[in-house]
Structure formats: structure tokens, C-alpha cells
Amino acid sequence: MSTDHDHTTQQKTNGGTAAWRAYLPAITAFVLLIGGIAIDQLSPQFWQQPWWRFVWYLAAYLPVGWPVLMSAVRAIGKGDVFSEFLLMSLATIGAFYIAEYPEGVAVMLFYAVGELFQNAAVKRAKRNIQALLDVRPDTANVMKDGVPVETPAAEVKVGDTIRIRVGDRVPLDGKLLSDKAAFDTAALTGESVPRSIEKDAAVLAGMIATDKVVDMQVTKPFGESSLARILDLVQNAAKSKAPTELFIRRFARIYTPIVVTLAVGIVLVPMLVADPYVFNDWLYRALIFLVISCPCALVISIPLGYFGGIGAASRKGILLKGGNYLDVLTKVNTVVMDKTGTMTAGVFAVQEVKPAAGTDAQRLVGVVKAMEAHSTHPIAKAVMRYADGTNVGEATNVEEISGHGMRGTVQGQEVLVGNAKLLRKFNVAYPPEVDAVEETIVVAAIGGAYVGYLTVADSIKADAQHAVTELRTLGVRDIVMLSGDKTAITQRVAVKLGITKAFGDLLPEDKVTKMQEVKKDPTAVVAFVGDGINDAPVLALSDVGIAMGGLGSDAAIETADVVIQNDQPSRIVEAIRIGKATKRVVTQNIVLAFGVKAIVLILGAGGLATLWEAVFADVGVALVAIVNAARMR
């Protein structure tokens, strides 16, 4: 531990030193520039020879200007002649040529400050991604002969048993071997509320054991864990450029040579018409034009805006596989969603208890619980959760009857628990309403007499209805639910959520057909939300596929464009909002850059703007745009 601590401390020290060195050129240039301007104004006689003044400002220029000059040379060497570095170099060298030294230094200084702001903003946007990297444990305690042995996580094999102590982070995916335990899932879902995980259920890398020491069996190698997949998604997200970002890159390559050509024209054309023609005056105007025209604000702040959007989304447990999907999310007007695991919890829960006349509801639940304690079926687990605390004694002589249910003895009486077929098999009369129930049903009989039933169904997620309401607020005109579950159950869930179009009894190919029907509308921009293997084809077919990633299938997560890590439907709304906010910031930066530049260009062409105004129109606007982009949270 001490070694890790020393290493971390050394990293922080090195990072602090590197940060200070990054600011040193700008500080040096600033001090020399302010000193030179002060001498110009208060004691110009200090410059006994004109070259003294030149040397002073050259010393101020080089710390911030030399890197730009070298960048221009390297860009030309790679065939990228007309870069923003060339514009800056031409403008500042020209300023020195006409002895406007302070302006030349100021252009480079403010450009350097803008770069520092940009780097700081990018670091802040990356901070959440780095936090994910920091939560990946490098070692695991592998159980060998009953003793935990610390082993590199990459060397742990599938099938190995590892021990997780309280406060430790799970290093690999696996299944819980210990009894029920609580885990903090914040690293995966963004939610700090502990999740209770049952024995044999999945435990994912990145979770933290919160209440006791547990053992788990590894089910996936280190490189294929949920956390590794998340890291890969986020780290590669910025590689996928948004259309706006790609446009600006292409625009800059065409725009820059046009600007240089016009600047040359500003110097040479007046030679034919102006009388008298003063070369330095027109050169100065051309330099102003060059500085104003530099596309720094656009080239820097637009990618930063998208990167900020990706970072803001990841902080909320929403992983985007590229900035381009932020653009698509802003246009979504149709949302098609799966039911089970997406809008419902995907876990059975007792919905209703219907005792027969003369039967106590608590006794009905207690008897059913006693019998279901002998089953591992998901329905049995749902009953056990619901009946926790209810006790009428243990069931004995329990016999499972395949496809029907169970027969046993509770408190000396024969008990039947199962479906209606079980009661018919043993000639137990029951009311017709039992056969009309559409949900999954658990019917019970005691001593040969019907005593009631429980309905068991998938429960709707707590924020599902709110998500549907908010989607409509955001301008989503059509919301469609598709499910492989019974049509009647699907319709009932849809009505509760306020969804008017719902289709059940669908096979995977039926879902594809329904999606194709939705996409026949040329104005529809469709997002599909799902979590199962059977949802992968529809996710691929949609304009933007959104997967529930907390407990979703690997196929769905790999196919999707956006992954919701905490499985909350409300995060779909959040993803669209972040997309719209990103688009807003990017649009603001484009309008700001072009608006200010156009005004100062007009003033510069008329001789009413100096290089100082040009500096603001370029670097000042870039700074404002960077700060605006950094607002993405």
C-alpha cells in the first residue's frame, strides 16, 4: 500500500510541475509585454536604439510564438499548408515587419492563453473518464486451498473463486456464491444507492461490497468484464465525429487558403486604385484581416463542446459511442421501446392477493410461501420476497408435479399450490374468474378446497411513467412499445404508462417488421430502447439504439449506440437533453465566432479596427467559446 501511495504522490508532484511549466511561457510573455508597453508609454527614451525595442518584444514573442511557428512548419511538411498556425505566423511576423511589436506579441500570447484554457477544459471533461479508469482493480484475492491469494486480475481464470472484502471493489464479473449481499454500484450506474444481490446472481466488475465479506465465481476474463467494456466505450467515444464537427474541419481546410488569398489581395489590389498608396497601411489592414479570419474559435471549441457532452453524459451513467449520436438524439421524434427489462424491472413480483370467501389473506400467503420455499422458480422467489415475515409453519412431504405445481402438507392438511391445471387434476372446484386471469397466477387449495390465488407479474420501473411524460415534453410525437409478452399484459402496461401504441406476442423478427413499419415515415427519426439479445436486430435498425446496460445482454450493449448504465428509463430523457444542450452550445459558438468576426472584418476593411480588435475577434472569441463549451456538465 505504501508503494502505491508513494507512486500516487510522485504522480501528483510530477503533474503539478508539468502544469507550472505549461504556464511559464505565457507568464514570461505577459510580463515582458506589459513591461514593454509601460516603457513605450512612460519612458520611450529607454529605447536608445530602435533594435533594443525589437529585441525586448522578440524576447516576449518567442516563448509563445515559437511553438506556433514550429507547428506551422510541421503542418506544411505534412501537406497541410493553410492551417490556423500559418495564419497566426503570417499575421505576427507582418506585425513585427511594420514595427507593431506589442500587437504581434499580444496575438500569440492570447492564442497561448486560449490553448491553456482549452487544455484545462479538456482535462475537466476527461476527469470523469479518468475516474472510471481509477476504479478498475488490478488484483484479485483468489481462493486457493481455502486461503485468499492476491493475484493479478488479468491472470484470474473463468471458474476461479475470489473473495471480496467489505469496501473492496469487484475486479471481474462473476456470480455470487455467498448468501444475499449489498453492493455499491455507483461506478457502473451513477447511482449511490446500494443494490441487494441474491446468491447465484450476477456481480459486475466495479461494484463495491458494502456489508460483508463475500465469495464469487468468476464468469468472464478480465478484459471482457462490464467495467472493461464501459472503459472501452467511453475512451473510444471521441473518435466518432459529429457531423457538425466534421463540417468545421472540412470548412477550415477550404476557408484558410481563401483567407490568405484575400489578404494578399488587400495588399496588392489597392496598388492599382489608391493614390497615394502606402504599402504599410494596407499591409496592416491585411494583417488585421488574417488575425480576424483565423478559425481557432471554431476548430477548438466545437470538438470540445461534443467532448464535454460525452463527459456530461458519462457522469450520469449514459455512455455514448460517439459525438455523432449526440446530434442524432437532438432530432429523435419517435421512441420505440421493449417492455421487459426496459420499462419494467424484469423481475417477478406479487401484484394481487385474492383470497376465497371465508379465507384470511395472510393465511393464504403464508401457506403459499411454505410450499414455494421448496422451489427455485422465479415465481417462487417473488412469493418469498412478498411474504417475508409471514409464517404458518413448514411444508412437509412436498412433491413437485411437472407443469402443474406442488403438493404437500402444511399444519397437517394437504395443500396444492400451482396453476389451475393442478386443481383440475385433483378435482378441486374453483370459480371461473381464475381461468380469466391474464397474468401469471398461483392458485392454492387446502384440504381439497379452493382458498384463493396470487397474481405475479413484472413490475413497472419507478421512473417509467415519468420518462414517458418527459419524452412527450421534449417533442417526441410517437412512443411505441413492443414485447414478446402476452398482448393483454403489454397493453395493460402501456395504458399505465400512457403509451397509446403497444404490440405483444412478438418474436424477434416481428419486432424488426414493426420497426420497419415505423421507419416508413421519412420524417421519423427513431430511437429504439431495449435490453435483450432479441432486441439486437432492432437496435441495429434504428437511427440511434439505446441499450439498458446494467443487466442488459452483451449483444444488445454491443449493438447499441448509447448505453444506459443504471437501467433507468428516465436516463433516456437525460440523454436527449444532453444532446440538445450540446447542440445549443455548439450553435452558440458558431454564431458567436462568425458574428464577431464579420463585424470586425468590416471595420478592419475600412481601417477602423486595429490589431487589438482583431486579437479579440479571434482569440477573445475563442476564449469565450471554450468557456461556453466547458459549461457542459
Query: Is-above-0.85 flag for pTM?
Result: no
What is the distance of C-alpha 152 from the center of its chain? 29
**Residues 454 and 445: beta-carbon distance below 8 Å:** no
CB burial of residue 349 (10 Å; 0-12, 13-18, 19+): middle
**Residues 63 and 116: beta-carbon distance below 8 Å:** no
Domain identity same for 455 and 548: no
**Residue 107 has which C-alpha cell?**
496575438
- Cα gap 264→250, rounded to integer Å: 23
CATH of the domain at 379: 3.40.1110.10
- Cα gap 426→416, rounded to integer Å: 9
Q: Does 338 qualify as catalytic in the annotation?
A: yes
More confident residue, 114 or 320: 320
Grid look-up 489578404 returns 263
Domain identity same for 516 and 421: no
- Cα gap 393→363, rounded to integer Å: 11
Q: State which residues form the domain around 480.
A: 317-345+461-580
Helix (H) or strand (E) holding 591: helix 570-605
Domain identity same for 365 and 431: yes
The number of domains in the chain is 2
Give the list of residues 6+ apart from residue 161 with CB closer than 8 angstroms, or none.
142, 143, 177, 215, 216, 217, 218
- Cα gap 528→546, rounded to integer Å: 6
- Cα gap 352→457, rounded to integer Å: 9
What is the model's pLDDT at position 329?
93
CB burial of residue 531 (10 Å; 0-12, 13-18, 19+): buried
The answer to whether residue 27 is domain-embedded is no
User: How much is the mean pLDDT over the chain?
Assistant: 81
The CA-atom distances, in angstroms, between 185 and each of 220, 307, 425, 433 are 18, 25, 47, 43
Q: Of 173, 184, 327, 338, which residue is the catalytic one?
A: 338
Categorize the per-residue pLDDT at 3 as very low, low, confident or very high, splitting at 50, 70 and 90: very low
- Cα gap 137→205, rounded to integer Å: 9
Residue 459: half-sphere exposure toward Cβ, Cα within 13 Å? 12
User: How does DSSP classify residue 330?
Assistant: H
6 has a pLDDT exceeding 50: no
Domain identity same for 373 and 497: no
Tens-place pLDDT, residues 535-594: 777 888 889 989 887 555 565 666 778 888 778 899 999 999 999 999 998 888 888 888
242 has a pLDDT exceeding 60: no
Grid look-up 487544455 returns 119
Grid look-up 473463468 returns 158
Domain identity same for 433 and 527: no
What is the model's pLDDT at position 474?
93
What is the model's pLDDT at position 449?
94
Three-state DSSP class for residue 450: strand
- Cα gap 3→48, rounded to integer Å: 60
DSSP β-ladder status, 440-446 and 413-418: antiparallel
Domain identity same for 416 and 447: yes
Domain identity same for 355 and 333: no
Range from 22-26, 48-52, 115-119, 156-160 carrying the lowest mean pLDDT: 115-119
What is the model's pLDDT at position 1?
37
7 has a pLDDT exceeding 70: no
Domain identity same for 569 and 483: yes
10 has a pLDDT exceeding 50: no
**Residues 133 and 231: beta-carbon distance below 8 Å:** yes
- Cα gap 58→353, rounded to integer Å: 87
The answer to whether residue 467 is domain-embedded is yes
**Residue 435 has which C-alpha cell?**
381461468
What is the model's pLDDT at position 591?
87
Q: Calculate what percentage of the chain has a pLDDT beyond 90.
A: 29
**Residue 48 has which C-alpha cell?**
536608445
Domain identity same for 365 and 442: yes
Domain's final residue, options 424, 444, 459? 459
Tens-place pLDDT, residues 80-109: 777 777 777 887 887 788 777 887 888 788
**Residue 243 has which C-alpha cell?**
457531423
Amino acid at 280: N
Give the list of residues 6+ apart from residue 619 with CB closer than 8 angstroms, or none.
107, 110, 111, 113, 114, 296
What is the average pLDDT across 436-459?
89
CATH of the domain at 532: 3.40.50.1000
Categorize the per-residue pLDDT at 8 as very low, low, confident or very high, splitting at 50, 70 and 90: very low
What is the average pLDDT across 440-465?
90
Domain identity same for 430 and 517: no
The answer to whether residue 17 is domain-embedded is no
276 has a pLDDT exceeding 80: yes
What is the model's pLDDT at position 118?
63
Domain identity same for 391 and 535: no
The answer to whether residue 519 is domain-embedded is yes
Tens-place pLDDT, residues 596-625: 878 877 787 677 777 777 777 766 777 787
Domain identity same for 324 and 382: no
438 has a pLDDT exceeding 90: no
- Cα gap 198→269, rounded to integer Å: 81
What is the average pLDDT across 14-32?
77
- Cα gap 485→88, rounded to integer Å: 64
Q: Which of 298, 450, 443, 293 is nearest to 359 (CA)?
A: 450
**Residue 423 has which C-alpha cell?**
386443481
Domain's final residue, options 410, 425, 459? 459
More confident residue, 47 or 231: 47
The answer to whether residue 384 is domain-embedded is yes
29 has a pLDDT exceeding 50: yes
The answer to whether residue 429 is domain-embedded is yes
- Cα gap 148→163, rounded to integer Å: 7
What is the average pLDDT across 314-334?
86
Range from 3-12, 290-299, 431-440 carrying the lowest mean pLDDT: 3-12
Domain's final residue, options 459, 478, 495? 459
Three-state DSSP class for residue 445: strand
The answer to whether residue 558 is domain-embedded is yes
Range from 226-230, 309-313, 321-325, 561-565 carrying the lowest mean pLDDT: 226-230
What is the model's pLDDT at position 633?
61
**Residues 333 and 474: beta-carbon distance below 8 Å:** no
What is the model's pLDDT at position 497?
93
The answer to whether residue 422 is domain-embedded is yes
